[in-house]
Structures are given as structure tokens and as C-alpha cells.
């Protein structure tokens, strides 16, 4: 197949024609000119317009052929558009906006950017890092404008650390499809309000359940924006707070009783925090010996195992009755960390018990947040917040891609 035919197979050229294909020292140069049988179209509304004048010649980087760079050269025209009532640069179907690469090239770079760090993609295809970032931005911009957000009924809200210094991103996921819906900088009330503004009042009214942690800015916004939805506090965050309380009991006991007691509890942290069925045979023997001693951490461990039964109830009334009983045990255990945890449960008891009305969790959200952290580590961090958010959308939102005349594997 001649190279000229190959170019025609990979980019849309209606209204244009390939005049020549030349091999230069470092690239393949393709000269494109307008087809006089067609009127130029407005770059803003895509309606035919009247030719006015030419702009300076522009070059667009296209897909490489056997490792040889390909550049398309074209002199854009300006048209007078009656619909837009102004003068605009004509629409060029192989390019988007002022970007100096073709849509096919953008999609190809963006597909590799899902697998590799952006700097490695730039080195592989002999372009700049900014070209890769712009390609991802183009694909994400198209995907966000054309994705379908209907049918979202249950969402999970969480935050991830973007960098050191308490820099966070708020992420919102669809719990049914496990896709990223929205990401924004910060974890304040203003940040979450931006999400509901983006979602719109109609789609917000369709929400049936919202799962989040016990972060007060999130609670305040959810209560005001979606009062009819069931707000459920995430089971995994509650268990994490319990684990922290149990470990704090162990730390406090070591501090109270000194170095001699430190040797008894040395290397026992995960014995108290693990599930009993996950303990190794050696850990089980160590736990059996420690349970014979009158230790505070053993009381905390028993309370932790008793709390496990709370999640096994099917009916809300039975779960509430058991939670009240466990609250009495914890507040009378003379263990300050467990007592504080129990009072935290009492303050948020209504939304904790909502789990038995609508059993949703952020378990999938935690897994997706780990994926988001891997994406950030793979890039060795993002300096700009826009690049970070674009990459999250690109890898985790399952966005639709721009139409391509030819799909590149």
C-alpha cells in the first residue's frame, strides 16, 4: 500500500486532499491542501462559511510509520460564519483546537499513558512530556463531555493524600459500576459542594444511598444536599478506628509498666489486630500464653472480637440492641481508647445503623483509592493538580474515546 493511501486510511480528509508525501532526513512530510469542491467549515459550529484569508502554515504530528515520525503540513483558512457571526479558523477534522498533533496521535499516546509513566511515553514516541499531557487532557475532555451519568443511585465518597503536607483529593465513585465519577482538590465542604453542583439537582435527587467516613465536612454537605438519601458510615473506616483504639491500649500499657513489661508485649502488635483465623501457629501459641496474663490489651482484644458480631445482624433493631450492650461493656472496661471509640459510635449511631437499612460499604472505594495511589507513584507524583486529576479520570472513569477512522492496537 502506498504511504499516501496509508495516510488517507488513518485520518478523515473529507474536504481536503493529500498533495504530496516526501521523505526528509528525520521525518515523513505530508502536504495537505483543501479540496475546492467543498466549502470550508467553521471551526466553532462546523457549518459551511465563506472563505476570508489564510493563517500561517501549521504542522501536526501524526502516527509514526516504522519508527519514523510523520508530520502533516497545512495552511488553515479563516471563514466568515453567519451562524456564529464572526471570523473563525476553519474546522480541520484530523485536529482538535490549537493542538499540534492529530486526534489519532492523541488517542495513541493516551492509550500508552494508561500503562506507562508519561515521561516514558514521551521518550518512546520522541515527543515532549507536554504533548503526552495534552493528549490525555484531550481524551479526558472528550470523555467527560460525552459520558452517560444516568442511573447513578449509590455513591461512595472518600479522600486520598495527593502529596505531603495534608494535601488531599476528594474522590466520588459509583458503587454499582465501580467507576470514578468526580475528583476535586481538598476535602472541605466547598470541595464536596462542587461535586453536587457538577452532578446537578436532577441527578442528585435520584441518589438513594451515600457511603462516607465520619468526616464532619462531608456529613454536613450530604445532610444539606441529599437529605432524602440514606447516609451510611463506612464499615471499614469504623473497624479501622477500632483497630487504632486497640493498638493504643497496647502502647499505653507498655508506657505504664516500663521496660520489663515491654519484653512481654514485644512483637505482638499484629497478634492483637489480626483476625483469629489469619494467625500463624506460632502466633496462636503466643496469644494463648498472653491470654493467661491479666493484661489490659487482652480485654481490648476481647472487646474487639465481640464487636465483630455487630455486623452479623440482619435486622436494625437487633443490631441496635447489641450495640447498646457493647457500648456498656466498652465504657465500663476502664480502657480510655475503647471508651472514646464507644462514645464516637454513640454520637454517630444513627448513620452507623443505616448500614442495616442499606448495606453498602466503601470496600470497593478503598481498592480504587489504592489504584489511584499506584497511578500517582508510577508517575513519581504530579506537580500540577490538573495533571493528577486528568490521569485519575483517564485510568479509572472508563470514559468514551473520540472517534477514530482507524483503531491502533
DSSP assignment of 318-332 equals HHHHHHHHHHHHHHT
Query: What pLDDT does 69 receive?
Result: 82
Question: What average pLDDT does this structure show over 14-24?
Answer: 85
What residue ranges do the domains of the chain occupy?
A: 1-95, 154-234+361-378, 235-356
CATH 3.20.19.10 for domain 154-234+361-378, yes or no, is no
Question: What average pLDDT does this structure show over 118-144?
Answer: 89
How far apart (Å, rounded) are the C-alpha atoms in residues 288 and 265? 13
Query: What pLDDT does 272 receive?
Result: 85
Cα 131 to Cα 73, 121, 144, 202: the distances in Å are 18, 10, 20, 37
Burial 172-191 (b: 16+ CB within 10 A, else e): bbbbeeeebbbbbbbbbeeb
Q: What are phi and psi of 108, to 5 degrees?
A: -70, -45
How far apart (Å, rounded) are the C-alpha atoms in residues 55 and 14? 20
pLDDT tens, residue by residue, 351-377: 899 999 888 888 888 888 888 888 888
Query: What pLDDT does 221 receive?
Result: 93
Whether the Cβ atoms of residue 136 and residue 118 lie closer than 8 Å to each other: yes
Whether the Cβ atoms of residue 298 and residue 290 lie closer than 8 Å to each other: yes
First to last CA, the chain: 19
Q: Give CB contacts under 8 A, 24+ apart, made by 286-290.
A: 290/264, 290/265
How far apart (Å, rounded) are the C-alpha atoms in residues 197 and 176? 21
Say yes or no to pLDDT of 408 above 70: no
Query: What pLDDT does 151 receive?
Result: 87
Q: Which residue has the cell 437499612?
A: 357
Dihedral angle sign, alpha carbons of residues 189, 194, 196, 197: positive
pLDDT tens, residue by residue, 302-324: 999 999 999 999 999 999 999 99
Nearest to 185 by CA among 392, 4, 342: 392
pLDDT tens, residue by residue, 134-160: 999 999 999 999 998 888 999 999 888
Say yes or no to pLDDT of 193 above 60: yes
Instruction: Give the residue ranges of DSSP H helices in 206-234.
Output: 216-225
Query: What pLDDT does 407 receive?
Result: 63
Question: What average pLDDT does this structure show over 264-282?
Answer: 85
Say yes or no to pLDDT of 167 above 70: yes
How far apart (Å, rounded) are the C-alpha atoms in residues 235 and 223? 19
Least confident piece of the model among 37-41, 79-83, 94-98, 326-330 = 94-98
pLDDT tens, residue by residue, 228-243: 889 999 888 899 999 9
Half-sphere exposure of 156 (CA within 13 A, CB side): 26
- Contacts (Cβ under 8 Å, ≥6 apart) of 89: 43, 55, 76, 77, 78, 79
Q: pLDDT class for 93, splitting at 50, 70, 90?
A: confident
Amino acid at each position: 500500500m502506498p504511504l499516501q493511501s496509508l495516510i488517507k486510511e488513518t485520518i478523515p480528509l473529507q474536504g481536503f486532499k493529500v498533495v504530496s508525501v516526501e521523505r526528509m532526513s528525520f521525518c515523513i512530510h505530508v502536504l495537505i491542501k483543501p479540496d475546492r469542491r467543498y466549502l470550508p467549515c467553521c471551526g466553532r459550529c462546523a457549518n459551511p462559511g465563506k472563505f476570508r484569508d489564510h493563517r500561517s502554515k501549521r504542522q501536526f504530528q501524526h502516527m509514526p510509520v516504522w519508527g519514523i515520525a510523520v508530520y502533516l503540513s497545512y495552511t488553515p483558512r479563516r471563514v466568515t460564519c453567519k451562524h456564529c457571526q464572526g471570523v473563525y479558523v476553519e474546522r480541520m477534522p484530523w485536529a482538535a483546537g490549537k493542538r499540534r498533533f492529530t486526534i489519532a496521535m492523541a488517542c495513541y499516546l493516551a492509550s500508552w499513558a494508561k500503562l506507562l509513566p508519561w515521561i516514558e511515553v514521551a521518550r518512546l514516541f520522541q515527543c515532549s512530556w507536554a504533548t503526552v499531557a495534552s493528549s490525555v487532557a484531550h481524551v479526558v475532555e472528550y470523555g467527560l463531555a460525552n459520558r452517560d451519568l444516568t442511573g447513578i443511585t449509590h455513591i461512595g465518597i472518600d479522600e486520598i493524600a495527593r502529596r505531603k503536607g495534608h494535601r488531599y483529593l476528594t474522590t466520588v465513585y459509583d458503587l454499582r459500576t465501580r467507576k470514578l465519577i468526580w475528583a476535586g482538590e481538598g476535602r472541605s465542604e466547598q470541595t464536596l459542594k462542587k461535586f453536587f453542583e457538577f452532578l446537578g439537582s436532577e441527578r442528585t435527587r435520584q441518589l438513594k444511598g451515600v457511603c462516607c467516613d465520619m468526616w464532619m465536612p462531608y456529613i454536613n454537605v450530604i445532610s444539606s444536599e441529599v437529605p432524602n438519601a440514606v447516609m451510611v458510615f463506612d464499615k471499614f473506616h469504623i473497624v479501622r478506628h477500632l483497630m487504632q483504639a486497640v493498638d493504643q491500649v497496647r502502647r499505653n500499657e507498655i508506657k505504664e509498666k516500663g521496660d520489663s513489661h515491654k519484653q512481654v508485649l514485644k512483637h505482638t502488635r499484629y497478634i492483637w489486630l489480626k483476625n483469629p483465623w489469619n494467625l500463624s501457629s506460632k502466633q496462636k501459641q503466643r496469644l494463648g500464653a498472653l491470654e493467661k496474663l491479666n493484661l489490659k490489651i487482652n480485654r481490648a482484644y476481647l472487646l474487639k472480637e465481640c464487636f465483630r458480631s455487630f455486623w452479623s445482624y440482619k435486622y436494625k433493631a437487633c443490631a441496635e440492641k447489641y450495640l447498646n450492650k457493647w457500648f456498656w461493656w466498652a465504657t465500663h472496661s476502664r480502657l480510655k481508647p475503647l471508651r472514646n471509640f464507644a462514645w464516637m459510635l454513640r454520637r454517630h449511631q444513627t448513620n452507623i445503623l443505616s448500614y442495616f437499612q442499606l448495606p453498602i460499604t466503601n470496600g470497593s472505594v478503598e481498592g480504587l483509592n489504592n489504584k489511584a495511589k499506584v497511578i500517582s507513584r508510577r508517575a513519581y507524583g504530579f506537580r500540577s493538580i490538573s495533571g493528577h486529576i486528568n490521569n485519575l479520570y483517564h485510568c479509572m472513569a472508563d470514559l468514551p474515546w473520540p472517534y477514530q477512522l482507524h483503531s491502533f492496537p
